[in-house]
Amino acid sequence: MYTETAIFDLLLPGDSRTLKQKRSYVRPILAMLKKFEVSAAEVGMHDLYGRAQIGVAVVAAEPAQARAVVDTCENQVAGRPEIELLSVKRRLYGDED
């Protein structure tokens, strides 16, 4: 069994000056990610309105499967025109970890 995690560091548009506006960008991203059968949540930068960190985790039988799902998630997030993907931190966990 393998688990891959990723943390996406996002720059939100300048008009996200309130928590409500921030959520209007984060919620659709989380809903889109969950369609890929991953666990996804906002995991950091809760106090910064113009930034967000979204964490994704997937469990798979093979490491290539886990990587492929997280690759797809990363590409989908990076392709959203309203936000900028600043960085991605990924880690693969296997039976030995």
Tens of pLDDT, residues 56-87: 999 999 999 999 999 999 999 999 999 999 99
Place of tokens 């693969």: 92
SS3 3: strand
**Percent of residues, the chain, with pLDDT higher than 90:** 74
2-93 carries CATH number 3.30.70.1120: yes
C-alpha pair distances (Å), 3 with each of 29, 31, 75, 90, 93: 21, 21, 19, 11, 5
70 neighbors 16 (Cβ within 8 angstroms): no
Q: Which amino acid, 34? A: K
Task: Kindly tell me if the per-residue pLDDT of 3 is higher than 80.
Answer: yes
In the chain, where are the structural domains located?
2-93
The 10s digit of each residue's pLDDT in 12-55 is: 987 777 888 888 899 999 999 999 999 999 998 888 888 999 99
Q: What is the pLDDT of residue 79?
A: 94
